[in-house]
Structure 1
Amino acid sequence: MIGLSPLLERDSTVPLYKQLYVYIRHQIESGKRQRNEKLPSIRELSTFLLLSKNTIELAYQQLIAEGYVQSRPRSGLFVLALEPVMEMVPMVCKKDSQGGPGQQERPPLIADFQYGDVELERFPLAIWRKCLMDAFRFESRQVLGYGHIQGQKELRAQIARYLQASRGVECSPDRIFLASGTQQAISLLCQLLPQIRVVGMEEPGYDGVRTVLANHRLTIVPIPVEADGLSVEALRRSRADAVYVTPAHQFPLGGVLPVGKRRELLQWAEETGGLVIEDDYDSEFRYQGQPIPALKAMDALDRTIYLGTFSKSFMPAMRLSYMVLPERLAGDFRARLESYSQSVSPLLQQALFLFMKDGHYERHVRKTRKSYQARHRTLLHAIHREMGERVGVIGQKSGLHMLLDVYGRESTELVNRALEHGIRVYAPSRHWMNPEDCPDSYVMLGFGGLEEERISASIGRLKQAWFDDRT
């Protein structure tokens, strides 16, 4: 028995896979689908709902990625247990005409500008599925065991070739170490490089990395980000022995560190014996000007640790990042890593190796770059059309997010008013070490997971929420 009867709006601008995903997610969150309950197979649900198998698979993949269901080999998809959460409290609105308190439910969420969402509609599922199946044909110990502590050598060789071609970084596979995400990579650096004790951190900067550093009891020194990037003078005064930077696309302000400051940063490393930790998290997506080579590519003295990830360019569910260590650190790091197990599935590593070897990854990056560029252009045009001089755009040259400065307004009010109109936007204050230092008028818009039509319509709603409906 199928037991799933969603009311799907086939003429809606919301993709069918998203409608199905939201329906099943709600069933799980509301308790209508119990822990360990099996979901219908892709074929069964495709036949029952008269939808393509690709649509069903996209919905299921999103549920897997967010931890609502689990795929069990040769058994199917099963609902996972959820932690209890507080129910949403209805919004309290202004008093009604009789003078008593009135209440209204928030409207359905129409668009979520969450940073980190990526495009799934054009994901090459059929090719990726074939790579996964082909991975099973390799020697069982290679793909079903624990795997090499650094990661599969053939995959590391593919990554090395890709870095040389796309970012100008030349390195051997022996200097590449795989990890299950950037935060785990940072955690390993904290544990296995004892010389890192005081870390300079861009201010503002990625709070996910800051949290890991704090949890390892490292001293964090905020280094101000100026109009042209990280203040190297402030770094010199900090006495830091390492600095974490995002030079290709500063997070969250979006600036690109100019070549002059890159040289100053490398000079600081040479003079102090410090390390530069370069997080190149979304360098594939640059929309204006020529790409600047990675900081690592300029580092003749080899004092830079390079971090890369497949979460933005491929899919977050892969949970695969990598580090390129300086030659002088790689040997000791490898020795200390011997007692650890590789956290990335060898099966997924083998599948990704096949995907990259046959050229699918670079083709996928080219296609998604064009798609994100179109979404980026649509977002900018809609902002200028609907809001004009009432807002400023920050960090618009690259990446999958930008900041809006809504002049004279306060982010809490802006976030709440947007929700009243079915749009979710975010205050970026958590990326400041002291959140009160974040300008009150800033909001963050991540656009990677939204189609162009939805972006354009949503900005129209934000204009109504922020300007037309003010009382």
Structure 2
Amino acid sequence: MEFLFIELQKNDQPLYEQIYEQIRNKITDNELKPGDKLPSKRKLASFLEVSQTTIELAYAQLHAEGYIRSEARRGFFVEQIDELTPVSAPITIAPSLEQERPSYDYDFSPGTIDTSEFPFATWRKYAKEIIDASYQDLLQLGHPQGDVELRSEIAQYIAHSRGVHCTPEQIIIGSGTEQLMALLLRMLGNQSLFAIENPGYLQMHPVFEHHHHPIVPIDVDQDGMIVEQLIQSEATAAFVTPSHQFPTGAVLSASRKATLLNWAYARKERFIVEDDYDSEFRYSGRPIPALKSLDQHGKVIYMSTFSKAFMPSLRMAYMVLPPALYETFKYDVIQYAATVPRFDQQIVARFMKNGHFARHLNRMRTVYKRKMQTVIDTLSTLSPKLTFFGEHAGMHVMIQLEDDRTEEHLLSLAHKQNIRLIGISQYYVQRTEQRPTFLLGFGGIPNDQIENAIHTLWRSWDLSL
């Protein structure tokens, strides 16, 4: 099945719920019969002109409720409804899409990190110290913005490393940038209209959808977000990754930074959200200054996370509010409790205070720089069939093929060789046709395996070395 007609309405109901309900009704009405194959997420997203994330959320709900099943490398199929477990029978939890992912020989996803150099001994030492009766106060709820010890360390760190000067009172700790964005949307109100980079950070799309918050996609080129498109839009806020655009790796040019700030300065209700997600890992030239360091009128909301610098499973991020928004937070949103365990906050605070965090960053910067060089050396041998960019920072590069085959077809060939790879189309709200382009993450692949991993991927596409 290539297409599936679904009528989407412009109302308060999220698009993924509308898609889920209409597919569910087609199944229960026997319009879709057991064994029928649903369109791929990419094709249905293109047909309905919605994001692929929207389709993924709808399919995940249908899968969780037993209306469809997932078959590895084949897709989604309608389940036999009359064989579903009765309510009175013992409940069995359907495996999630994440659980069904196989273990890969090579995982090129951009979210993986190198775990071999993690300072387990030091982490264990601090964990043992604070899990003690003398720290029984940590069993109580702490400050809703996060423990002041950690906020103070973060304030010092971003002042020295990113030129972002703030007080600990302006910092809010949260369990990921998505959770912090949900708080921010509440502060800015339903009247705000967000512009987001296209392509951009995938996990942010559901946050806007779940809060019924409209978004405006703004294209990205080699100089970052095209600010002229933003100016021509009706957006009142912009979510950007200026120091290392995700996923393209572009750096927002100096002229565009000035234009972006002036756009925000022109109206009281306008704000910029700067996601500085991996600024620690830049391998050539000087670090790119944070956009927040240039802000003279309190219009930039600065966000960052410990996921890349430390570990994704920590689920710890932070946000720096301008004074005006902090007043809104203090009187309207502060009643929400902090979402990060206090024991974890205290361990990280001690890591930072005693210099272990800085030493870990220096060590990992060397590790990832060495890996990046291996990636560059290997990819350079594959031109002109392949070009790459975004190699000056971060833990992934973009690769683009001179190939007439589709991105989806090339992904399927890689998966058949047990290689995990992500195409750039997943990060678009709206996408124009272009050559097959992929994110080549190397964080979780040992340096001595990177060359073979890339060559194995190349051979999976039936391309000669």
Scaled by the length of structure 1, the TM-score of the pair is: 0.75
- Indicate conservation of the 8 Å contact 2:221/2:250, yes or no: no
Aligned with residue 335 of structure 2, among 316, 326, 339: 339
Q: CA deviation at 1:419?
A: 2.3
Amino acid in structure 2 at the alignment position of 1:462:
L
Q: Which residue of 1 aligns with 2:24?
A: none
Partners of 1:151 and 1:221 in 2: CA distance: 32
Q: CA deviation at 1:142?
A: 3.3
Q: Matched residue pairs, number?
A: 374
- Indicate conservation of the 8 Å contact 1:200/1:235, yes or no: yes
Partners of 2:71 and 2:266 in 1: CA distance: 54
State yes or no: 1:439 paired with 2:420: no
Q: CA deviation at 1:219?
A: 1.6
Amino acid in structure 2 at the alignment position of 1:313:
A
Q: CA deviation at 1:87?
A: 6.7
State yes or no: 1:307 paired with 2:307: no
State yes or no: 1:382 paired with 2:378: yes
Within a 5 Å distance, the mapping from 1:36-435 to structure 2 comes to 88-89=71-72, 109-137=104-132, 139-194=134-189, 197-273=192-268, 274-385=270-381, 387-408=382-403, 409-434=405-430
For the structure 1 residues 393 and 90, does the alpha-carbon distance in structure 2 shift closer, same or farther, using more than 3 Å as the test?
closer
Q: CA deviation at 1:458?
A: 0.8
Question: Equivalent residue of 2:394, what SS?
Answer: coil
Unaligned runs of 5+ in 2: 1-63, 76-101
- Indicate conservation of the 8 Å contact 1:150/1:177, yes or no: yes
Amino acid in structure 2 at the alignment position of 1:330:
Y
For the structure 1 residues 138 and 83, does the alpha-carbon distance in structure 2 shift closer, same or farther, using more than 3 Å as the test?
farther
- Indicate conservation of the 8 Å contact 2:181/2:207, yes or no: yes
What whole-Å deviation, never above 9, does each CA across 1:152-179 have from its counterpart, x for those lacking one? Answer: 0011000000001100111000000000
For the structure 1 residues 196 and 382, does the alpha-carbon distance in structure 2 shift closer, same or farther, using more than 3 Å as the test?
farther
Q: CA deviation at 1:296?
A: 0.2
Scaled by the length of structure 2, the TM-score of the pair is: 0.76
% identical aligned pairs? 36
Q: CA deviation at 1:451?
A: 0.8
Q: CA deviation at 1:140?
A: 4.0
Question: Equivalent residue of 1:437, what SS?
Answer: coil
- Indicate conservation of the 8 Å contact 2:110/2:441, yes or no: yes
Partners of 2:103 and 2:325 in 1: CA distance: 52
Question: Equivalent residue of 1:402, what SS?
Answer: strand
Partners of 1:169 and 1:361 in 2: CA distance: 18
Q: CA deviation at 1:138?
A: 7.2
Amino acid in structure 2 at the alignment position of 1:301:
H
For the structure 1 residues 378 and 137, does the alpha-carbon distance in structure 2 shift closer, same or farther, using more than 3 Å as the test?
same
Q: CA deviation at 1:181?
A: 0.4
Partners of 2:73 and 2:189 in 1: CA distance: 50
Q: CA deviation at 1:88?
A: 4.7
- Indicate conservation of the 8 Å contact 1:149/1:337, yes or no: no
Unaligned runs of 5+ in 1: 1-81, 93-106
What whole-Å deviation, never above 9, does each CA across 1:117-165 have from its counterpart, x for those lacking one? Answer: 1111110001011111122247545311221100000110000000011
What whole-Å deviation, never above 9, does each CA across 1:271-301 have from its counterpart, x for those lacking one? Answer: 1231000000001111122112100000011
- Indicate conservation of the 8 Å contact 1:196/1:242, yes or no: no
- Indicate conservation of the 8 Å contact 1:178/1:320, yes or no: yes
Cα RMSD for the two superposed structures: 2.4
